[in-house]
Amino acid sequence: MAHFGYFLSSEEHGPKELVDQARMAERAGFDCLWISDHYHPWNGQQGQSPFVWSVIGALSQAVSLPVETAVTCPIVRTHPAVIAQAVATSAVQLDGRFRFGVGTGEALNEHILGGAWPEASVRLEMLQEAVEIIRKLLTGEQVSHYGKHYVVENARLYTVPGEPVPVDVSAFGPQSAEAAGGFGDGLITMGPAADMVERFRSSGGADKPVAGGLKVCWNTVREDAVRTAHRLWANEQLPGELAQILPTPRHFEQACELVTEEQVSSSVPCGDDPDTHVEALTAFVDAGFDAVYVNQIGKDQQGFFDFYRTKVLPRLRDRQSA
């Protein structure tokens, strides 16, 4: 049976709010948590971006749910040896309830140190090398690594979990889905793409978990929900590689002037019709996903959690039981 999780948005909420939402998610009956890892929000309207590893520390004390980054880019902004220490500490704090989600990142977050932003194929190569380093360090053994992209010398982590940390790889295209099947412990993607699942599974991910995410906007007035989703997350509708190459929130704001409310309305589940929300999540289950993470757009988080606790999650689980 598929698990249903909540996706904590670090771009839209501060650290205290994220911890409060995690508590609400657990009370509402969600099974697990994703949390985004950003340096910048996508646009100024979202307006937040706390340091994810500090928030994960707080989550470890606030809830009993599993937690995963969705996703961390360990290739440019932060050296993989440093990320390995953050992963190890998080896994220890969460007593085995931590999964590490990784991806090739966006210039929005990663270019801030002034270096070049590599093309997608190079970033994927860097990601594979970074994951190799992180896995070695998580063993607690001393590591020296002299690779194409990274050097690690005489590094050892002394605080390490007792079991390996699963590393799930984010993919949005065929090349990355195939790579994820080869070196990832699971797949992360957005949207119920059955072809992505199949490509991942046929490339080495046959028995590995597949997780997907989506955004919704619950509101008792559907038109208000559409306006909120358009104001805060129009960037979700940008095509192609724009999300990976635009460098600042202001550039995203400029690009999002081309996104209409009608586009958002047809793409994002909005309003308070339970059928709309149930069908959106069921599409992932039907496409072969093992877990689906949903994020509520906007400030009315308690209304959303009450709605999902009473009208959405019970129906999703009844469907699976049937």
240 vs 182: CA distance, rounded Å? 24
User: In the predicted model, what is the mean pLDDT of residues 218-228?
Assistant: 98
Is 86 within 8 Å of 54 (Cβ atoms)?
no
pLDDT beyond 90 at 116: yes
115 vs 203: CA distance, rounded Å? 33
Residue owning tokens 């757009």: 297
**Backbone φ/ψ region at 212: left (φ over 0), alpha (ψ -120 to 50), beta:** beta
Q: What is the mean pLDDT of the chain?
A: 97
Catalytic residue selected from 38, 111, 230, 277: 38
> Coil, helix or strand for 163?
coil
Q: For 156-204, what is each residue's pLDDT tens digit? A: 999 999 999 999 999 998 999 999 999 999 999 999 999 999 999 999 9
Active site residue 106: yes
73 vs 250: CA distance, rounded Å? 21
- Report pLDDT for 59: 98
Q: For 245-275, what is each residue's pLDDT tens digit? A: 999 999 999 999 999 999 999 999 999 999 9
Tell me if the pTM is above 0.95. Answer: yes
298 vs 313: CA distance, rounded Å? 20
Is 316 within 8 Å of 294 (Cβ atoms)?
no
Is 25 within 8 Å of 65 (Cβ atoms)?
yes
Catalytic residue selected from 12, 68, 106, 110: 106
Residue owning tokens 């039981």: 321
